[in-house]
Chains A and B, each alone.
Chain A
């Protein structure tokens, strides 16, 4: 049995490569090494297709456009899966289109969660579903979160129906310094993960500072067991990545290494760094490490101490993805304060509200509202329209998809949430959610409420959740 397992591990990569060749399996020597000029086609391509929608205009509605703009008594018109026009009451609505009256309601772009583990830590959270951390080596840039995503996670439906979430980044966990590739998904159920993949979204790579890597590997008696070990292992790995990139770019034949491909993709600027990092001092060290190896950190996640170095983060153009008020659950979360987002915003740094949680992904709007209120109490007045940016345009930008979604601008994907009240109120819930112009959730129509395979035939199937 053991030798079989070993065999399957050794054989798997060969089989995988062979499958991509229509002429049938080849022996190892026949598989050509990658030549630099040939950019290999991206494997596991997105097969997501927008569902059909009808041309729809929402009128008499308060619009937060996701980029800080607000329109009272506005109109949002979508057709062909795209935002067509957004404006005031005079905006022309073509005859014969579906008109939704938004009186007393609010429209925002679809909410985007930049930090989710839906699908790779799905519910029910049983051991057999625990696919988020390849905690067998401190650096696993070779793993891809999408290969762990279970597209039947009931959590996707709750994020849609209660949270208005239309896109999300699913990340590997934080056990490892380099945890692997993330994947950006459209929040639309599909039979395969490829069917959920956000078309042409750049990849991210998860990195983690601090307690988790040193605890996981230190407890196994191996490096890293300290924060200095964390940085040392990272730097050694980046040196290898630089060498790999050099070899790849040299014009000579080389052997592919899928982990190194991801790291080289980071050095190329094609893959963004999504860095779990709680403490301010560690974020500053990471920024210097990024300078040493010439890569860019897109976003610090769980950045509970960002407020201490808001100026540094602003000057480096790095976003902070934060909770409103999580605190005290571990030592590196001890100095978290509810005013983190407001201080960052007030200093001119980029703020994103994230969840890392299958429950709070349903309430990112509420988390943002709490952070806004805590700012107001210290004299930082941040408008509602600006706060909505923390959930829409800013995460889209940090993911490299802001040309496609994240704000209500003509030509962008019609990812739209109609809320039954101000989304920054505790009393508001999504009324309708469109993704690429298709109505994917309608609070008043139980048929437009997704039910994953897992929940079919179970107690509460199709219930309001």
Chain B
């Protein structure tokens, strides 16, 4: 009985999305997400789960379901540049928290994909706020290499993973040093030694007796060494970034992406020269650690002005639950344009930093993150400026499928809109 009820509830929750259909969203202010200016009265056409076209003069295919977006904004869904979505239901309840696999004995081999659980409530809550894709990273524990992260979609279905093993995640700076024996010197030594061991493994020289790596870890790192898998590195301080750039010269095939990057503005020119894109925390402005003494909200704007490719991500910042802050963070970066002496992004750049740019940095810009033809149809209709606090997503489409916007939070809201009990206890009110 219990099983039956569970299945029924699951079906109710996941029955709503219908199969991909042909949809034309008309009359809205269309934001392509590529940094270009919004198109007034534009049309977005979706077919077979993909964007067919988006623009001012797009023909509406016959038979398309039309969504009238007059007076509304139409954008690509928010692409959360860094998260731990689906890896925790309640952060402080261990059984529901799969962020770190530190005690498994593995490091680089850890693959978060099977731990990403779309039935966890952060999926539905963030989906209803217009977040449609997310970079999902493991958390490091006893090694500087945390394991392999994924790109997920927030669709209300049972297949959350868009791309498994999309990147390797590593910790440098203070956290990396803590994992590598207590010193940044140890971090660099570990980094080199583990990559050499991966090469030894490939050459059949691995012994695995006294090695830092298990065979599975070596395989994962080999793919990083070959440049097949991006290496996302959490690093905050200017010096740590400069030293990492030296490691990149030593291992030129590695595709590095820096994450966090609170002091990025101090080494912006070097980041450009090294060709390293960044997924930056948007609003860090406190010296939370000694590697963040130079933190300022103008960081992203300054890096962008210097030519760095910058996306917004939420590193260690409510990263399993509050991806819905992404639009607010982007709005704040826009607000800096109006603060004397501060450097922000234009609105168009800011929206790109939460849609096409993270997709491009992750190497999936040809498939995700914008409303250009051929991209996955992740489209959100908003009742106002999506970066403004008063606005909300009113239609969310993922892979061409219109999504349910209900979640546990709005069920509680509806139950307690009038808190006083009626004829029966609140437990009967649903």
Contacts and interface: CB of A to CB of B under 8 A. Distances in A.
Interface in B287-337: 287-290, 292-298, 318, 320-322, 324, 328, 331-332, 334-336
Interface string B20-44: 0000000000000000000000000
Given A328-B121, A329-B90, A426-B388, A458 B293 contact: yes
B286 A369 contact: no
Interface string A421-465: 100111111000000000000011010000000110011100111
Nearest to B321: A328
Contacts of B286: 123, 154-155, 158, 358-359, 465
Nearest to A329: B91
A378 B392 CA distance: 12
Given A124-B288, A369-B389, A446 B341 contact: yes
Contacts of B263: 459
Q: By DSSP majority rule, is chain A's interface helix, strand, loop, or mixed?
A: loop
A127 to B, nearest CB: 12
A388 to B, nearest CB: 14
Interface in A406-432: 420-421, 424-429
A334 interface: yes
Interface of B: 88-93, 121-122, 125, 238, 263, 266, 283, 285-290, 292-298, 318, 320-322, 324, 328, 331-332, 334-336, 338-342, 387-392, 409-410, 412-413, 416-417, 419-420, 426
Interface stretch (A33-41, A235-243, A304-312): A304-312
Contacts, number: 160
A309 B419 contact: yes
A165 to B, nearest CB: 14
A331 B390 CA distance: 28
Nearest to A444: B340
Contacts of B339: 420, 429, 443, 464
Given A158-B286, A327-B322, 6 more contacts: A329-B91, A359-B286, A377-B392, A420-B339, A443-B339, A465-B297
A126 B334 CA distance: 32
Contacts of A331: 90, 92-93
Contacts of B413: 307, 337-339, 343, 378
Contacts of A454: 287
Given A446-B341, A455-B287, A373 B392 contact: yes
A366 B389 contact: yes
A27 interface: no
Nearest to A336: B409
7 contacts: A328-B321, A335-B412, A425-B388, A427-B334, A443-B339, A463-B296, A464-B339
A327 B409 contact: yes
A211 to B, nearest CB: 8
Interface of A: 123-126, 154-155, 158, 162, 211, 307-311, 325-331, 333-339, 343, 347, 358-359, 362-363, 366, 369-370, 372-373, 376-378, 420-421, 424-429, 443-444, 446, 454-455, 458-460, 463-465
A116 to B, nearest CB: 13
The 6 closest A-B pairs by CB, nearest first: A426-B331, A459-B294, A460-B294, A369-B389, A330-B92, A465-B285
B289 A311 contact: no
Contacts of B426: 308
Max chain B CB contacts within 10 Å: which of A126, A162, A309? A162
Contacts of A337: 409-410, 412-413, 416
Contacts of A378: 413, 417
Contacts of A363: 332
Contacts of A370: 328, 389
A158 B92 contact: no
Contacts of A464: 296-298, 336, 339, 341-342
B338 A427 contact: yes
Contacts of A373: 389-392
A310 B390 CA distance: 24
B419 A463 contact: no
A325 B391 CA distance: 15
Given A124-B287, A373-B392, A330 B91 contact: yes
Given A327-B321, A464-B298, A464-B341, A123 B389 contact: no
Given A428-B335, A464-B339, A123 B288 contact: yes
A334 B409 CA distance: 9
A336 to B, nearest CB: 8
A421 B388 CA distance: 13
Contact of B122 (A124, A310, A328): A328
Nearest to B419: A310
B419 A311 contact: yes
A424 B389 contact: yes
A202 to B, nearest CB: 30
B389 A343 contact: no
B389 A124 contact: no
A421 B338 contact: yes
B287 A154 contact: yes
A90 to B, nearest CB: 30
Contacts of B298: 463-464
Contacts of A459: 238, 263, 266, 293-294
A429 B339 CA distance: 7
Max chain B CB contacts within 10 Å: which of A308, A309, A429? A429
Max chain B CB contacts within 10 Å: which of A154, A328, A366, A443? A328
Contact of B289 (A125, A334, A335): A125
Contact of A427 (B89, B331, B341): B331
Contacts of A426: 328, 331-332, 334-335, 387-389
Contact of B390 (A329, A424, A446, A463): A424
B388 A329 contact: no
A336 B91 CA distance: 14
Given A124-B290, A329-B91, A329-B92, A307 B419 contact: yes
B322 A325 contact: yes
Given A328-B321, A337-B413, A465-B296, A376 B335 contact: no
A334 to B, nearest CB: 6
Contacts of A359: 283, 286
A362 B413 CA distance: 27
A353 B336 CA distance: 24
A177 B315 CA distance: 32
A426 B282 CA distance: 14
Contact of B340 (A158, A328, A427, A443): A443
Max chain A CB contacts within 10 Å: which of B266, B416, B417? B416
Nearest to A327: B321
Contacts of B331: 426-427
B294 A427 contact: no
B113 to A, nearest CB: 22
A147 B372 CA distance: 59
A343 B416 contact: yes
